[in-house]
Structure 1
Amino acid sequence: MHEKLDIDHLPTLTEMLYHWEQTKPDDVFLRQPSGGQWTTYTWAESVDQIRRMAQYLSELNLPRLSKIAIVSKNCAHWILADQAITMAGHVSVPLYPNLTANQLNEILIHSESKVLFTGKLEDWDLMKEGVPKGIHGIALPLSTESTYSRWDNIMEQTQPMIENPIPHSDNLVAILYTSGTTGTPKGVMLQHNNYQLAVRAVQKVLSVINKPHRFFSYLPLCHVAERGVVETCGIYSGGSISFVESLDTFVQNLQDTQPTIFFGVPRIWTKFQLGVLAKLPQKKLDLLLKIPLLSTFIKNKIKKGLGLSKAEILVTAAAPCPQSLHEWYQKMGLSLLELYGMTENHGICTIMPLDAMQMGTVGTAYPDMDMKIDPESGEILMKADWVMSGYYKEPELSAQVLADGYLHTGDMGEMDAQGYLTITGRIKDTFKTAKGKFIVPGPIEWGFALNSDVEQICVLGRSLPQPIALIVLSEIGLSKSQEDVLHGLKETISQVVQNLVDYEKIKKAIIVHEPWSIENGILTPTMKIKRNVLEHRYTGKLEEWYSHPETIIWEQVSTA
């Protein structure tokens, strides 16, 4: 199939399922870990379960293209449920597994979902309170829900769908609700042809579907990047997808999988780096890498320890990856392929050419698309056939974002003569200081990437004379004395401010004691920092810190 695949006329994902069911029925498609053991599902077994669930959904007699939601952590049956929804002729509404009851209620009502699949979740009993009455519930095998129809029972009692329905390319296939850092999530409408054309664009630059790759799924499958890199490419390539069991088993699961394609957001790559440096400090590592006989051994040991010794393509996306992080991985013999995109354009906007990498940029535009920079605002504008059809039930907002035929990304950037794009910030993140000067915080924050003491950083300063930086220390930083941390931060700040004009220079750095997480509401499900939440949380303290005589301040822990 790979040799004969017509890139200009790719089949739908559903048609690919039929193909692998017939041509490689006994090859493993999905791998689910549990207690150190792996349960595998072949293509034949997987498609059989998809057919049975599709038949069950068809027998519910729902209107054509009904919305069906999935809320679960990543697992084999997440993929099976998602594909069953499509095969049955309906629209998938995948949801983040850490939503509150109110957030779940809001999206289920807004999307008009008729059915809800629930699976592996931390706080289902609390979340369940947000499920509107009248929704038909189906519990995946790893779900703790006891009152919904059970997946395994449906498999036993339902015959598989015999026919091979082929979805129309113009039909809606999914509504992806963004995890935006501000405001109510928006439902991005994607059609089957968006998937087909997006894969075609990637394939023209990077051959990801020419052979059966191994994928490792751990980031939320409701996010456009994980759906694109793992689920979509996994099915198109005829490869295998392995899942993470828990945070505690992450390293072992990854080592067991040895993926050939691995996707991570910059914060994941930073965590990997910090994990290496915790065992082998940078100065010692640099020394060992200078010794020819040891250099290769050390690099291979690091790759094996990370579970990436077989990796052919390493992807970083969802947020700008600092140049310093790219350079660190290159020293380890690992090149991070930078992608730039968003839910609205199916995650497909620019890609870094492997044979012509330009550090500090996010690469060049894909084939078959147009990209330009708005001369007034500096906003990145792009158009392509795989861009969303709009936001669900938001015609006015859709018209604004898709004005003049271009997707208005909300990101600011610069493009050189060769077409390489550099992200310079986010329009919504830009703030004005008390001096009336606009600050773009992103580039300032990226300058701290080389300091292994820093786990998280956020530059704020709305209504302050100059910006200040809030910092969460890494495990490496927490293990050091305050004196050593202060010394390192002072050096980093002096390097960062060298290239800044006076009004951009950081006035204070505050080391806060509480890490920022999804659970405490400061990070989005994709681990982006909600600046507005931090500003609100530290209202009053920001002015107090700004007036403090010290440049670097340790937040006082309340004893109340």
Structure 2
Amino acid sequence: MSNANERATQVHCLLHWEKHTPDNVYLTQPCGNGVVKTYTWKQVGDEVRRMAAYLQSLNLPPKSNIGLLGRNSAHWIMADLAIWMAGHVTVPLYPTLNGETFSYILEHSDTALLMLGKMDGKADGWKEIAPVLPEGLPIIGMPLSPKLNVPQWDDIIAQTAPLTNPELPDPDSLATIVYTSGSTGRPKGVMHSFRTMIVIINGMESIWGFSNKERMLSYLPLAHVAERAAVETTSLYFGFQVFFSEGLDTFQQDLQRAQPTIFFSVPRLWTKFYLGVHEKLPAKKQKILFNIPILGSLVKKKVLKQLGMDQVRAALTGSAPLPPNIIAWYRDLGLELLDVYGMSENFAYSHASKPGEMRVGYVGSVNPGVEHRIAENGEVQVKSPGQMLGYYKMPGKMDEEMTADGYFMTGDRGEIDERGRLRITGRVKELFKTSKGKYVAPVPIENKLNNHPKVEVVCVTGPSEPQPFGLLMLSLDAIKELERGEIDKETLTREFHSLLEEVNQSLEDHEAMDYVVVVKDQWTMENGFLTPTMKIKRNVIEERYMPNAGHWVTRKQKVIWED
């Protein structure tokens, strides 16, 4: 590995690999109908240089904010690099935004131009976003983008000479404004420099030992800091190959193509993989096969191979806890799921579970260079080298979020064990008071309810009610089984009744749920009930369901199916 100064920013990194390994494949992009394109470092460098030259020719004011909208793709990363090489600032926009939030961010961020990438209106919010695109906003259409009458990436790079001697960014200059997905209120624009983004490298290398031989599959939103840190930044720094997913329908095929060595996912997807295997190979059969000497080992390897994860040496999970039984199952297969924890404000550089030191229910210990502590009110406070520059156009807001001695107040409540590992126990502001004047922390209760294989997402609520209650969203698989008659409501009602009793027995009297409701709608990112990292938007859910609480109480049923 060469001198780190050659890779002081992400643009430096591109030029480094373009020079030293020009013919190595960097990006692999499925394009539909079985077509897969690969891009070497030389090809990526050439396209980025040409697009940067075109952006400079537009004579936008220096350090203009340029929006980047689209699902993950090779050209998302190329556009990010081109914006930086042209001397501008990237404003990534979640592809699942609704029209109102999209318009707000576009206006608040002073976006001067929009780079439009992979969108189709099926797995994203394009149908809501398209009608509210501002008239007169310059747009560049990237490959796989909706067909609009705007300048197209391929035409531009065919007609534009590449920058031959680009001006490299100052590591401390503003690189990006990341709008927090936020579980409440308006999103805030978190400002990061190139330095605060690339500072993660030393910690990542010391914990997981990255090299240019890695392979990663990019499918969680690149507009979020976690994917931008774990995939984009590390791949640019270490020079390894990145693969992209075409969509949910081809996800298994995309995984098989990538054969990732490092795989980052969220609990909802780890659970889907787990349930998918159990559907094909029931738990009873697994128990028999896994315990047969030699054969058991072969079967486990085959399961991992079919998942596309037999080459994974580091499996990362974040954003919410996974049930212990699912963690144990993966561990039995030979995959140690390692929790990571971070926030937009510190570019996801905060905590990680180290191999061999993972503790179930804990997000790990501090990354190198990070300090943490628990405040008197139980809040987790973190001091990270990845700390943001501030909030865009909100000069006093950062002071509100920081302590006098430089710790960021995360809003999460937590505990630290004797080995310095952190456990998140909920949000400081998520505590709600029942009509009996007792406070309830919903997250630990939700984690217990989420153990049921037919339940995908849970929200425990009940402010000003006599007792809390739980909202259960069925998994898509469970819904299909109901439709096909493979299970029935009566069976599930009995199971959920037993689940409610079992969980309530582990709670204090004031925490015990009066009932649970099986909701009829799916909570998704598209309809605004989940954040892009698949956390529940508690305020949205409560606004939708709390008006029904009075009626549900009078029904005197322990398990209610929403009408």
Bin the TM-score by the shorter chain.
over 0.9
* 2:168 alignment partner in structure 1: 166
Question: Within the alignment, does 1:380 sit opposite 2:387 as a pair?
Answer: no
Per the TM alignment, residue 340 of structure 1 is displaced from its structure 2 partner at its CA by: 0.6
* 1:440 alignment partner in structure 2: 441
Is 2:7–2:13's contact at 8 Å kept on the other side of the alignment? no
* 2:56 alignment partner in structure 1: 58
| Larger deviation, residues 241-250 vs 194-203 | 194-203
Q: Does the residue aligned with 1:188 lie in a helix, a strand or coil?
A: strand
Is 2:6–2:12's contact at 8 Å kept on the other side of the alignment? no
- Unpaired stretches in structure 1, ≥5 consecutive residues: none
Question: Within the alignment, does 1:530 sit opposite 2:552 as a pair?
Answer: no
| Larger deviation, residues 445-454 vs 414-423 | 445-454
Map 1:316-331; keep pairs closer than 5 Å: 316-331=317-332
Question: Within the alignment, does 1:488 sit opposite 2:495 as a pair?
Answer: yes
Question: Within the alignment, does 1:46 sit opposite 2:44 as a pair?
Answer: yes
Amino acid aligned to 2:259: Q
TM-score by length of 1: 0.95
Mapped partners of 1:191, 1:242: distance in 2:
26
What RMSD in Å do the two structures reach over aligned CA positions?
1.7
Amino acid aligned to 1:541: N
Is 1:243–1:253's contact at 8 Å kept on the other side of the alignment? yes
| Larger deviation, residues 262-271 vs 535-544 | 535-544
Question: Within the alignment, does 1:201 sit opposite 2:217 as a pair?
Answer: no
Map 1:362-377; keep pairs closer than 5 Å: 362-375=363-376, 377=377
Mapped partners of 2:313, 2:191: distance in 1:
32
* 2:552 alignment partner in structure 1: 545
* 1:13 alignment partner in structure 2: 10
Mapped partners of 1:320, 1:401: distance in 2:
25
Q: CA offsets per residue over residues 451-503 of structure 1, 9 Å max, x none? A: 21212211111111111111122245442233432333233333323331111
Q: Does the residue aligned with 2:263 lie in a helix, a strand or coil?
A: strand
Q: CA offsets per residue over residues 357-394 of structure 1, 9 Å max, x none? A: 2222111011212110001x110001122110111111
CA distance 1:522–1:483, change in 2 (3 Å): same
Amino acid aligned to 1:514: D
Per the TM alignment, residue 187 of structure 1 is displaced from its structure 2 partner at its CA by: 0.5
Q: CA offsets per residue over residues 507-530 of structure 1, 9 Å max, x none? A: 201112222112322112222211
* 2:347 alignment partner in structure 1: 346
Question: Within the alignment, does 1:514 sit opposite 2:514 as a pair?
Answer: no
Mapped partners of 2:547, 2:57: distance in 1:
58
Amino acid aligned to 1:17: L
Mapped partners of 2:365, 2:186: distance in 1:
31
* 2:484 alignment partner in structure 1: none
Is 2:411–2:429's contact at 8 Å kept on the other side of the alignment? yes
Per the TM alignment, residue 9 of structure 1 is displaced from its structure 2 partner at its CA by: 8.9
Q: CA offsets per residue over residues 229-274 of structure 1, 9 Å max, x none? A: 1111111121111111122111111111111111111111111111
| Larger deviation, residues 79-88 vs 356-365 | 356-365
Mapped partners of 2:231, 2:331: distance in 1:
24
| Larger deviation, residues 514-523 vs 188-197 | 514-523
Determine what percentage of the aligned residue pairs are the same residue.
43
Amino acid aligned to 1:242: F
| Larger deviation, residues 262-271 vs 315-324 | 315-324
| Larger deviation, residues 272-281 vs 22-31 | 272-281
Amino acid aligned to 2:37: T
Mapped partners of 1:347, 1:318: distance in 2:
11
CA distance 1:283–1:549, change in 2 (3 Å): farther
Is 1:18–1:164's contact at 8 Å kept on the other side of the alignment? no
Mapped partners of 1:323, 1:421: distance in 2:
16
Moved over 4 A (4+): none
Q: Does the residue aligned with 1:319 lie in a helix, a strand or coil?
A: coil
* 1:413 alignment partner in structure 2: 414
TM-score by length of 2: 0.94
Per the TM alignment, residue 64 of structure 1 is displaced from its structure 2 partner at its CA by: 1.7
Per the TM alignment, residue 144 of structure 1 is displaced from its structure 2 partner at its CA by: 2.1
Mapped partners of 1:301, 1:488: distance in 2:
32
Is 1:73–1:121's contact at 8 Å kept on the other side of the alignment? yes
Amino acid aligned to 2:329: W
* 2:144 alignment partner in structure 1: 142
Per the TM alignment, residue 306 of structure 1 is displaced from its structure 2 partner at its CA by: 1.4
* 2:29 alignment partner in structure 1: 32
Q: CA offsets per residue over residues 426-463 of structure 1, 9 Å max, x none? A: 12322111111111111111113332121221111111
* 2:72 alignment partner in structure 1: 74
* 1:84 alignment partner in structure 2: 82
Pick one of 112, 115, 132 that aligns with 1:114.
112
Q: CA offsets per residue over residues 3-40 of structure 1, 9 Å max, x none? A: x454x995211111111101111111111112223111
Amino acid aligned to 1:146: L
Is 1:21–1:47's contact at 8 Å kept on the other side of the alignment? yes
Q: Does the residue aligned with 1:86 lie in a helix, a strand or coil?
A: helix
Q: Does the residue aligned with 2:555 lie in a helix, a strand or coil?
A: coil
Per the TM alignment, residue 103 of structure 1 is displaced from its structure 2 partner at its CA by: 1.9
CA distance 1:146–1:204, change in 2 (3 Å): same
Map 1:275-294; keep pairs closer than 5 Å: 275-294=276-295
Mapped partners of 2:367, 2:305: distance in 1:
32
Q: Does the residue aligned with 2:270 lie in a helix, a strand or coil?
A: helix
Mapped partners of 1:462, 1:9: distance in 2:
55
Q: Does the residue aligned with 1:447 lie in a helix, a strand or coil?
A: helix
| Larger deviation, residues 482-491 vs 42-51 | 482-491
Size of the alignment, in residue pairs? Answer: 551
Mapped partners of 1:396, 1:96: distance in 2:
26
Mapped partners of 2:337, 2:14: distance in 1:
30
* 1:190 alignment partner in structure 2: 192
Amino acid aligned to 2:458: I
Per the TM alignment, residue 349 of structure 1 is displaced from its structure 2 partner at its CA by: 1.0
- Unpaired stretches in structure 2, ≥5 consecutive residues: 482-486
Is 1:278–1:476's contact at 8 Å kept on the other side of the alignment? no
Per the TM alignment, residue 356 of structure 1 is displaced from its structure 2 partner at its CA by: 1.7
Per the TM alignment, residue 543 of structure 1 is displaced from its structure 2 partner at its CA by: 1.9
Is 1:351–1:365's contact at 8 Å kept on the other side of the alignment? yes
Is 1:108–1:131's contact at 8 Å kept on the other side of the alignment? no
Mapped partners of 1:102, 1:360: distance in 2:
36
Mapped partners of 1:69, 1:247: distance in 2:
25
| Larger deviation, residues 37-46 vs 296-305 | 296-305
Is 1:325–1:449's contact at 8 Å kept on the other side of the alignment? no
Q: Does the residue aligned with 1:539 lie in a helix, a strand or coil?
A: helix
Amino acid aligned to 1:207: G
Mapped partners of 2:476, 2:11: distance in 1:
45
Question: Within the alignment, does 1:400 sit opposite 2:396 as a pair?
Answer: no
